[in-house]
Every structure is written in structure tokens, then in C-alpha cells.
Structure 1
Amino acid sequence: MLKLYTNISFLTDANRSKVFPLLFDLHYVKSEQLCDFYELTDTISDCDIVVLPIDYGSFFKNQKAFQRLLTEAQKYKKPIWLYTAGDFGFTVHIPNSYNFRLGGFHSKLSDNTFVMPSFINDPFETALKTSFSVLRKTEQPRIGFVGHAKTGIIKYMKSYLSHFKLRFKYIVKSTYFDKQSFYPSGIKRAQYLNTLKRSENLQTNFILRNNYRAGAKDQKAKARTTTEFYNNIFDNLYTFCIRGVGNFSVRFYETLAVGRIPILLNTDCRLPLSNLIDWNKHTVILDASSKVSLEQQILQFHEAKSNEELAEIQKNNRLLWETHLRRHSYFIKVHDIFVEQLKLEHA
């Protein structure tokens, strides 16, 4: 059991979308799955960890509360957990702190950075009208994709304008995130998909959208496009995954949840719980800088696996999502990591 201390005055309805995800489950949801692992305490001297209540950028603006909590944590020599929200996340240099974020570049992240999965609902409960089952191996690998992917000068200019606006926010410090180079994700995605589509050795089942979620606005259209999206993952052994605006892929976790095999283009990604999970056993990780083409990297993986081995990977991927990547499952694993760490510190 880990005891957490925070400034509960920030856990308000107005701040729900900004709250540290674990605190959200403990305070608002009162998760039964987590009650055996965490509890909130109102005594900082009695806690194991101090948690910043809302995302760093928002909490930092409340300088008095921010400095008071940090001073108390340092006084009692407590580790600090903080959450940097958004697609980019933010590198924070606070001693004895641990940063939880969705993405970032592995080569630039500290050992005290915890990458969180994208927390999604179970697709078998929300979108797919079937239960989990495995697909058999086909002679050629079947690769699916449904999503926003578009090329062209207009698309490029729109992407660059969005990047310019973010750069301006970065310069004036109106929000907090790590600076990133221009990466037109929709264009890059289309280019890689078109390369794979031209291969005679791959079966591709790609549905390329001109807009996010095919421009769906009302709930009926959103439900339809969500079902199409998950059916495509379910019907294909592999799904191509590449980063979006931030350096992570939500589709990667959605593919694991369906029990299929992600093909992840590595853009210096850090994957969650990599000290616990051998990700090479669950996904095809592509290296775009390799002399071996992306097509050959996929074929090498597929051809080296038997039908039984591919079936086992599918089962293990679904299980991995349930035991490590669901919201409560992830924080249970984090609990175990820190309990062991605290034992070592006090040994």
C-alpha cells in the first residue's frame, strides 16, 4: 500500500480534466481495483509520495500552492510524482521527482520519466460486436489501417501553420511543453502507407481519411467510424502504427486491446513499463533508418513465426493490455515498482 499526499483543494469539478490520472481514479471514481494499492492521506509526514494534484503547467501557475507543496515534500524528503499533460509533455527538473507523460523522445527522457499508455475503453465492450479470437497466419502478412493520412501542398501548409502556432505558444510560455521539430504526421503517415501499399508481398487493407475520424461530428457518425476503425483492426493480423502530433501512437494501444499485432514505426519512442515488458515479443518495431526496407522488416517477422506462434502473440497482446495497460492495471504495476524501490532505499 502506497500512501499519497496532495493538495486536495485542487481536486474540483472544474479541474477534472487536468487531474493526475491516478488521483482522478482515487478521488472521483474511487476505483475498487486500486484501493488495495493506494490511499490518500492528509498528513504529509505519513505519506510515501507527494503528488502534484493537477498537470504541471496548470499547477505551476498557482505559484503559492506550487511552492508550498514542493517545500513540504523537500522538508520531509518525499519523492514527487507529477503529470505533464498533452501530446508533447514537458521535461521538469525538480529533484527527486518522477514525471508521468504520454510521449516524448526516448533518447532525451530521464530514467525518472514514466510513459503512460493512452488509456482507452475496452473495444470489445464499446465497439466490436464480437468476442476476442485469433486470426490464422496467411501467406502474405495482412496489414490494416484506418485513419487520417493525406499528402499535398495544402495539407503541408496547414500542418506547418499548426506547428508555427505551437512554436509561438512555446516562445511566450502561454503553455508548457517540450519543443519539437516540425513533423507533419498526416503526410508522413500517408507516405509510409503508400509505400507499403505498393508492395506485391503485403496484403494491405487501408482506409485513408482526409480528416480526423472522417470529419464525424454527431454521435451517430462517431459511433459508425469508431466501429469501422476497430473492425479493421480486428480483421487484420497487423495494424500499422505511427506517431501523431505527439511522439506516441494511440492506435498502438488500440491494436493491443483488440489482440492484434502492432507494426510500430520507431520514431525514438519510449514505450510504457519497458523494464517489465519485452516489447519485441508483442510488436513489430520498424527502423526507418535501416538499410533493410520496411517491407522486408515486416516479412522477416512474419515469415519467422508459425501459425501457433502468431496465435500466441495475439493472445498475449490482449492479456498484456488487460494486465499492464488498462488504467488501473498500469498504476498497479507502477505501485509494485515503487514499493520495491522504497524497500531498497530503506534497506
Structure 2
Amino acid sequence: MKLYYPKDHYNSKKRGHLFPLLKPFIKPSTFTDKERISHYGVSDKDFIFYENINESDFAILTMSWWYYRIMDELKIAADFIKKSNKLNIPVLVLLSGDNGMDIPEDLNVIVLRAQGYASKLNSQHYAMPVFISDTLKTYYNTTKISERSYETKPVIGFCGQANKSKVEAVKDILKTSLKNILYYLKVRWQTPHALMAPKFLRATLVYKILKDKRVNSNFIIRKKYRAGINTNDKKNTHKTTLEFFDNILNSDYVLCVRGAGDFSVRLYETLAMGRIPIFVNTDCILPLNNSVNWKDHVVWVEYKERNQIVEKVLEYHSKLSELELNNQFKKNRELWETKLQLKPYFKELLNSIN
């Protein structure tokens, strides 16, 4: 696949906004291909970048759409897209972060995003996984899935922020309402969110599961994000991170509910660690849904069915034996390895679009 991106768009001070496929390739000259494979799982032989846009199959907008907005460089982005459109070369654009943003309708682009409401997006928007490091390798020095014995009562895990305060929930919904109004008044450019309080939703489900004696709960409930630890506090950050991943590893199923954006990073972390996500669908988009039957890999719970979450888990669990449970763990890890990492995801996506 022949790719092109405008090199002069790159801003090293805003590297967090760089299109994800470019991160392994925009590196110092001393960065070796061996390091690229080790850090990103990608070789310089996997994707070919051309100096001339006319030779390419795809053009990539170097930085995220959010970057061009905050840097007041939307015209630069639009001019590049229009040039590519005239050459009939598809342009890939990243919408990063928790919020959606409008892209002018006269720009013909392929939008990649982790977040978004499925019912509101057209066919030019594609779900992108959250690209994470191999947590098994990083924290446990292995890539082998640990097996678990089958118990009649499944173990459901969750480590994270949840708040059952109705007052705080109302505050969150009012804040979202205000932001939505500001969007319609053209004061705010981030697209509207559903009127929902994610921390309260998580708390509602956590305490419903916690009270149900038909399952075993493995919960660590945080009052603040990452337990309020400052990221500069390396010792305690490592401690809480390890607690988070130990929680996944010591569970059969893991509760995965949206955060501020309509997506769940925990979904990908759970798959990578070879466990089964309990995926609460809040009109989410999911990657490669033409080739991945997501219901084969998760306990699928529609938002309107959230009060039956324990019944959904028990129904799923009752159909498994110990062998089948552990085989599902392996299938989920395999899904992450073969579809949801940087190289396989972009290989499949670009081939399918092409």
C-alpha cells in the first residue's frame, strides 16, 4: 500500500496529535527498524511512504483534526484535502480524543475515530481501536494467557472510577446540556454528547452486580481517575496500574462501560489480557465490524438491557465448560493480536477501503 503525508505539517511539540500509523515512522534517524518492530510491531517494509502524492494510493492528514482546529490551521488541512480530492486519492483524517468534531461537507475524507455514536455517523466514518502496549508482556513478562478454573459463580472484575451520587450525576448532565447548547449556538465546536452521566452509569452497574449473590465481584472502586495519583509519581502510578491489570487478570469477565467519550479503552485492555469484556453498548462504534463478529468475543449488553446485566453474564457463562471458557480467553487475545494492533488493523482497513 502506497502512502503519502505532508511532512511539513508535523509538529514535534504536539506529537500526541500525530496520526497513529505515522508514529513508528516519524522518528530520529538513529531509530532502527529493529526498535520499530519492538516498540510498535511494525517494520519499514510493512508500509511504503512516497515523496510524491501522485504515486500514492492513500493520503494521510499528518495531525489530528483537533490539532488543526486548536492551532488555527484548518485552512492548511482543507487545502491539502482538496488537492488530494482533485487527484482522486482518498484522505485519512484522525478525530482524536473524547469529543467528535464537524468536518466540512465539501471535504471528501475517510474519518478514523475511537469514539462516536453509531446511529449518527455515515459510512465515511470508521471505528479505530485504542492502540495499547502489550500489557501481558510489559507487566507480566509473558504473552501466554493464564487459564482459570471454571466456577458456577463467574468472577466479574472492575477497577476504576464510579460515583453513585445522584447530585453529581445531575451536575454532569447539566454540564453536557450546556456544552450541547453552546455547540448549537456555534460557540463550541465539539459535537453534542448524549445526556448521560458515565460515572453514575458505571456505579449503578457496579453496585447492581455487587449486590447479586449469583456472581462473585472483584471490584476496586476509585473516587478519582487513576485513584487521583499524579502521573509524575512513578512509584504510585505503577502500583495503581498494576492493581488495574491484576484486577482484569484475576477475573473471568470485566465490566466495560464508556467514559467521557462514547468508547471504552478497557475493552481493548481486557481483550489483550485474554479475558471476556462485558460490553455495555451505548450506541458505540467498534473497529472492523465487517470482519469481526463482536458478539462472539464479549457479553453484549444493550444500554436498554443494562438492568439485566447479571442475567446476561449468567446466560453466557452457563453455556461454557472450563475448556470453552479458557478457549474464549485465547480467542479474545488472538483477536487483539491479529486485528486490533497497529499493523494488522491498518493493513486490513486500507485493503478493505481500497
Shorter-chain TM-score above 0.5: yes
Bigger shift: residues 248-257 or 167-176: 167-176
1:17 is aligned to: 16
Separation (CA, whole Å) in 2 of partners of 1:134 and 1:336: 35
Larger deviation, residues 123-132 vs 301-310: 123-132
Tell me, yes or no, if structure 1 residue 313 matches structure 2 residue 324.
no
Aligned equivalent of 1:155, options 168, 178, 183? 168
Q: Deviations over 1:240-260 (max 9, x none)?
A: 110011111111111111100
Counterparts in 2 of 1:169 and 1:230: CA distance versus 1, 3 Å: farther
**Residues 1:319 and 1:281: Cα distance change in structure 2 (over 3 Å):** same
Report if the CA contact (8 A) 1:142-1:237 is conserved.
yes
Kept after mapping to 2: 8 A contact 1:147/1:208: yes
Q: Does the aligned pair in 2 maintain the 1:57–1:176 contact within 8 Å?
A: no
Aligned match of 2:138:
126
C-alpha distance in 2 between matches for 1:204 and 1:63: 48
Greater alpha carbon shift after TM alignment, 328-337 vs 297-306: 328-337
Superposed displacement of residue 153, structure 1: 4.5
How far apart, CA to CA, are the structure 2 residues paired with 1:127 and 1:173?
Answer: 46
Contact 2:166 2:200 in 1 (8 A): no
The answer (yes or no) to whether the contact 1:49–1:78 under 8 Å persists in 2 is yes
Please tell me the residue identity of whatever aligns with 2:111.
Answer: N
Matches within 5 A, 1:1-347: 2-28=1-27, 31-32=36-37, 33-59=42-68, 61-92=72-103, 93-94=105-106, 96-128=108-140, 131-156=144-169, 159-160=172-173, 162-163=175-176, 166-167=179-180, 170=183, 176-217=189-230, 218-290=233-305, 293-338=308-353, 341=354
Whether the 8 Å CA contact 1:20–1:83 is kept in 2: the answer is yes
Aligned partners of 2:82 and 2:107 also within 8 Å: no
Deviations 1:45-95 (A, max 9, x none): 111112111111332532442232122112211111101111123353355
**Equivalent residues of 1:183, 1:245 under 8 A apart:** no
Between 246-255 and 117-126, report the one with greater CA deviation.
117-126
8 Å Cα contact 1:141-1:302 kept in structure 2: yes
CA distance in structure 1 between the partners assigned to 2:248 and 2:291 by the alignment: 26
Letter matched to residue 40 of structure 1: F
Q: CA deviation at 1:290?
A: 4.0
Return the TM-score normalized by structure 1: 0.89
Deviation at residue 14 of structure 1 after TM alignment: 1.8
SS in 1 for 2:328: helix
Q: Helix, strand or coil: the match of 1:192?
A: helix
How far apart, in 2, do the equivalents of 1:252 and 1:121 lie?
14
Name the SS of the counterpart of 2:44 in structure 1: coil
One-letter code of the match for 2:226? R
Structure 1 runs of 4+ with >6 Å offset: none
TM-score by length of 2: 0.88
Matches of 1:294 and 1:154, distance apart in 2: 24
Aligned residues: 338
Report the secondary structure of 2:279's partner residue: strand
Shift of 1:161: 6.3
Aligned equivalents of 1:96 and 1:249: distance in 2?
28
Which 5+ residue runs of structure 2 have no aligned equivalent?
A: none
| Identity within the alignment, % | 31
Counterpart-to-counterpart distance in 2, 1:57 and 1:94: 18
Alpha-carbon distance change, 134 to 288 in structure 1, aligned in 2, over 3 angstroms: same
Contact 1:134-1:259 at 8 Å conserved across structures = no
| Structure 1 stretches lacking a partner, 5+ long | 342-347
